[in-house]
Chain A
Amino acid sequence: MGNVFSSRTGVIVVGALIGVGAAVLQYLGNPANMGICVACMERDVAGALGLHRAGVVQYLRPEIMGFVLGAFIAALIAREHKPRGGSAPLIRFFLGVFAMIGALVFLGCPWRALLRLAGGDGNAILGLLGLAAGIFIGIQFLKRGYSLGRSYPQKPLSGWVFPALMVGLFLLLVFQVSFSPGGPIFFSQKGPGSQHAPIWISLAAGLIIGGLAQRSRFCTMGAFRDVMLIRDFHLISGVAALLIFAFGMNLILGQFKPGFAGQPIAHTDHLWNFLGMALSGLAFVLAGGCPGRQLFLSGEGDMDAGVFVLGMIIGAAVAHNFALASSPKGITDFAPPAVILGFVFCVVVGITQRDRG
């Protein structure tokens, strides 16, 4: 064995660390109840690159790069870096697109749903219930033999492409390159995109969490799935630790403000908070991991996970360009049809993609 982090204690320690880290990152400047949010941060990256023009959510978040590179380094050290790919990449891309659309209707990934709850945002309860419901639907497909097929070993250097992309993004952040007047890279002057912890602290937090999460296999979707599918409480103990420690840290730092109305970067449309996250949960099950886990897998050399991440980034661009993403004022007119379209896509994938009977 020799991997202490994949033990029950290990996954609890990692969950606790993410919870504490997120609360501290918020304290140091990240947006409220968004110390860490993989979906939101990828959305900010999409904005910084000019893929969408929502001026308040544009920043090259070093946490994202840290997650991938931390996992990459940890996997290299542990000799677990294995380039692999070829398991229905285009389907995974669109699962990523719709996962992001669902997440931006709710306004957060599963990590942020937990952090919002830990910060007192009651709307997160609807999101988490939706997440569980979406995962439950996905499990029904798994039980009927759902599979996107095998991935196959790839040539050694192919596993370096995604980490190299992250290094490139980090360099763009450090040098703040402007490619043309009024063009990218964009950095928000106001709104959530303008709120961020110091670059090197964000990067360090990302690297540490990425490395430890790679070792522990921390995954929020997997946590709920394993409880429902095989009554395995291994991963969920890490998720519980995240929630409890983020809550404790928020109390200490004075960041706990209970209620439903007026919560930061959140809305109170219960139905669509539920359905948005349900769509995401379903897409995560079909793709085999929550957004955080997909980043860590990308770092390990999983090129299919990398395609899912790119799908999420494009999904963020679609969500903002086509006015699908919610704002604190609520959902948009286009959100319901987009979420329904996402469900149709996921259900068709769930039914049609299967191995044997």
Chain B
Amino acid sequence: MTTKRIDARGLSCPQPVVLVDRAVQEGNTDLEILVDNEVSRENVLRMAARRGLKTDVRQEGQDTIIRATRA
């Protein structure tokens, strides 16, 4: 299973969430989402939880990388 990468840095609300939702609906179960602000991070994590994805967050400089996978 390949990891689907989504670069949501600098996108305004709600585009990061829309991109994640679309990827999930396309059948992706392994996502790596790049965000650069706290609001996007919170929103993506909430969306992932609602879609039943397990998340793992790590910080890389200014960017937050959220790995979301089907539990």
Contacts and interface: CB of A to CB of B under 8 A. Distances in A.
Interface of A: 3, 6, 78, 80, 82, 84, 87, 142-143, 147-148, 150-153, 217, 219, 222, 225-226, 229-230, 232, 234, 287-289, 304
A229 B12 contact: no
B15 to A, nearest CB: 6
Contact of A232 (B9, B38, B50, B62): B50
B14 A289 contact: no
A222 B14 contact: yes
B42 interface: yes
Interface of B: 9-15, 17-18, 21, 36-39, 42, 46-47, 50, 62
Contact of B37 (A3, A80, A87, A304): A80
Nearest to A85: B10
B10 A150 contact: yes
A302 to B, nearest CB: 8
A153 B62 contact: yes
A313 B42 CA distance: 31
A7 B3 CA distance: 29
B11 A222 contact: no
A3 B13 contact: no
A315 to B, nearest CB: 20
Contacts of B11: 147, 150
Given A153-B62, A222-B13, A232-B46, A82 B37 contact: yes
Question: Lowest 9 CB-CB distances: which A-B pairs, in order?
Answer: A150-B10, A288-B12, A151-B10, A288-B13, A80-B38, A6-B42, A217-B39, A147-B15, A142-B18
A3 B42 contact: yes
B37 A142 contact: no
Nearest to A150: B10
12 contacts: A78-B38, A80-B37, A82-B37, A147-B11, A147-B15, A225-B14, A229-B14, A229-B18, A230-B21, A230-B50, A232-B46, A289-B13
Contacts of B36: 82, 153
A151 B14 contact: no
A84 B15 contact: no
Nearest to B10: A150
B41 to A, nearest CB: 10
Nearest to B39: A217
A78 B37 CA distance: 12
Given A3-B42, A232-B50, A142 B14 contact: yes
Contacts of A219: 13
Contact of B42 (A150, A217, A289): A217
Contacts of A78: 38
A58 to B, nearest CB: 32
B21 A87 contact: no
Contacts of B21: 230
A140 to B, nearest CB: 12
A151 B9 CA distance: 8
Contacts of B15: 142, 147
A234 B18 contact: no
The residue in B13, B39, B42, B50 that gathers the most chain A C-beta atoms within 10 A of its C-beta is: B13
B46 A143 contact: no
Nearest to B43: A217
A288 B42 CA distance: 16
A219 B13 CA distance: 11
B18 A151 contact: no
A115 B10 CA distance: 33
A274 to B, nearest CB: 24
A225 B11 CA distance: 17
B47 A230 contact: yes
A87 B42 contact: no
B3 to A, nearest CB: 19
